[in-house]
Structure 1
C-alpha cells in the first residue's frame, strides 16, 4: 500500500486543526503527514493500519500518531450508522519554537516520543475524555487550545495504553516501493479468504519471488506469510465474536485450507484456542 503524503492546512489564524468527520465509511488511503494527529473514533469498525502494525478498531478507538507515521482507518463490512470521528492535528512548533522544552510542557515529552510508534489508549481513557473531545470542536480559539492541552495532559499521565508499530520501523521508501506496498495491502484486504501465493504477488509488483520476500520483510519487519496469517486470524476473531458460526466454518471462511493449521496459527497469535477466545468474550460480555 502506498503511503500518500497529505499536507494538513489549518486556517492561518489557528495554531492547530480540530474537526468532526462524518462519512459513509472510512476509506482514506494509507498516508502520512508532518503533523501530530489525535483521533477518537465515535462510530464505525474495521481495520486500523499504523506503520507495520494493524488491528481491529471500533467505537472509542483513541490513537495518537507522531509526524510522518503512515496510517489509515478502513471500515470493513456493512455499518448501521455513518463513520464518525474527531480528528485533531498540530505541527511540532504549533506553540512556537522549542515550546516543548518549557517547564510547563515537560510532561508532554514522553508522550510525544511514544507517538513515533503510534499509541492506542484503552477504552476507559477514551470514555473519560469523549465529552471533552466533542465539546472542543465548537469552542472559541483560546478555549479550544486550553482544552487540547488538558487532553494531552490527561494522556501524558495515563498508563493505560499500548504502542503500536515496531520501534525500529522507519518509513523511508521511494515512489515505486510505496506503490508495491499499496498493491500488496489492497490485495490482501480483498483476497485474504482465498489462496494467496508469492508468485501471484511478486508478479503484481514486478519482482521475483525471492526479491519480494526480502523487500516485504525488510520494510514491514515481518515475513509476508506471517503478516497474512496475522491478518486472517484477526478476521477470524471478528467472526468468532460477531457470529455463532462453527469454528470449522470460520477457518475456511478466512482462507485456511487445513483446520489443524488454522488451530496452530490461532494459538500462536492469540495464546488460546478459538473456542476459549469466544468463551472468554461471552463471559466478559455477560458480566
Structure 2
C-alpha cells in the first residue's frame, strides 16, 4: 500500500485544529500538508527531519512550520519494539492562512503576524524562554474551545512574532520539490537508512531500493533534499552521536563506532563540520546549559 506524502487535515467544526498525540511512537511517515503547524514534544526521543534539516530531538523540541514543508519526527528504534515503558507525547496545532477569514493577516494591524507567517515558510526552531512560553500555551489550548481558543492561539502567534529565541530550520532558498507519487521511493530510502546507519551503507543497495542507477539516484536525492546522500547519512549518524553524548554513558571512541563511523578522526571531523564543535565541546556546552 502506498503511503501518502501529502497529509490531509480537516476540522469541520473549528477554524483550526489542536491535537494531543499520545502513542507508542510518533507518525513514522514523512509528509507535508498545506497548513501552518506549531508542534512541541512533551515526551520521546528520535531524529527530526524538516525540509533539508536533520537533528536529534527530545522532550522540549518546539517548532513553527509553514505550509508544505516535508517533515518527520522519527522515534528511536526502541519505540517500535513494543516496550511499554516507552511512549511519545506531543501537542500540535494546525491552521491555514485564512482560518480567520480571507485577508485577515493582510490588515495593517496584523503586520507582525504576517511577517511571522513569511518566516515560517523556512520553519522556525524555538528555544529558551520562548520555547517554554509556547509549550505552556499549547498545553492550555488542548483544553480551550471557541473564542478562548482563538484568542490563545493569536496571543501565542503575536508573542512569537517578536521573539528573538528562534532560528530558521531549512536552508535559504529551500523549496519542497517532492511529489505525492514519490512518497514510496523516499520512504523506503529513509526507512533503510534509519535501520542501517550503524552499519556500512552501500550506495548500490540504496539505489536498487529506489529502482535507480547509482548516478541517477545521487542526482535525484540531491535535487530533492538539497544535500548529497552521503551528507544525509552522516547527519543521521551525528544526530545519534549527539544523543549518546548528552547521556554521558560512553566515551567518544565508543560513540564513534556505535554511530556507524569507522575511524575516530573521521567522526571528529564530520561532527565539527556539522555542529561547529568537537564531540567533547558539544557535551560540555550541553551540560552547562542543563546545569
Give 1:6's aligned residue.
7
Aligned residues: 285
> How far apart in 2 are the matches of 1:32 and 1:283?
36
- Match of 1:31, SS state, is coil
Contact 2:36 2:96 in 1 (8 A): yes
Alignment pair present for 1:217 and 2:218: no
Paired residue secondary structure (2:121): helix
TM-score computed with the length of structure 1 as normaliser: 0.92
The aligned counterpart of 2:195 is 190
Structure 1 residue 179 corresponds to structure 2 residue 180: no
Post-superposition Cα deviations, 1:206-253, rounded to whole Å, max 9, x if no partner, equal: 111111111111111111111111221111111111133121111111
Q: Which runs of 5+ in 1 are unaligned?
A: none
* In 2, Cα distance between equivalents of 1:278 and 1:143: 42
Q: Secondary structure at the match of 2:56?
A: strand
| Counterparts of 1:271 and 1:106, CA distance in 2 | 35
Superposed CA offset, 1:8-66 (max 9, x none): 110x3311111222112213411111111111221112111111111122222211111
Residue of structure 2 equivalent to 1:24: 24
Which residue does the alignment assign to 2:68? 68
Cα 1:140–1:202 change in 2 (3 A) is closer
CA contact (8 A) 1:43 1:81 kept: no
CA contact (8 A) 2:28 2:75 kept: no
CA displacement, residues 179-220 of structure 1 (integer Å, 9 cap, x when unaligned)? 222111111111000001111111111111111111111111
Question: Are the structure 2 counterparts of residues 158 and 193 from structure 1 closer, same or farther at C-alpha, using a change threshold of 3 Å?
Answer: same
CA distance, structure 2, for counterparts of residue 284 and residue 65 of structure 1: 25
Please say if residues 5 and 29 of structure 2, whose CA atoms lie closer than 8 Å, have aligned partners that are also in contact. Answer: yes
Correspondence 1:12-51 to 2 at 5 A: 12-51=12-51
Are the structure 2 counterparts of residues 280 and 93 from structure 1 closer, same or farther at C-alpha, using a change threshold of 3 Å?
closer
Alignment of structure 1 residues 1-287 onto 2, 5 Å = 4-10=5-11, 12-78=12-78, 80=85, 82-285=87-290, 287=291
1:267: how far off? 2.1
Q: Distance in 2 between matches of 1:175 and 1:33?
A: 11
Q: Does the 8 Å contact 1:2/1:31 carry over to 2?
A: no
* Farther-moved stretch of structure 1 (216-225 vs 241-250): 241-250
The question of whether the paired residues in 1 share the 8 Å contact of 2:41 and 2:90 is answered with yes
Alignment root-mean-square deviation, CA: 2.0
CA distance in 2, matches of 1:117, 1:3: 22
Partner Cα separation in structure 2 for residue 282 and residue 122 of structure 1: 16
TM-score normalised to the size of structure 2? 0.91
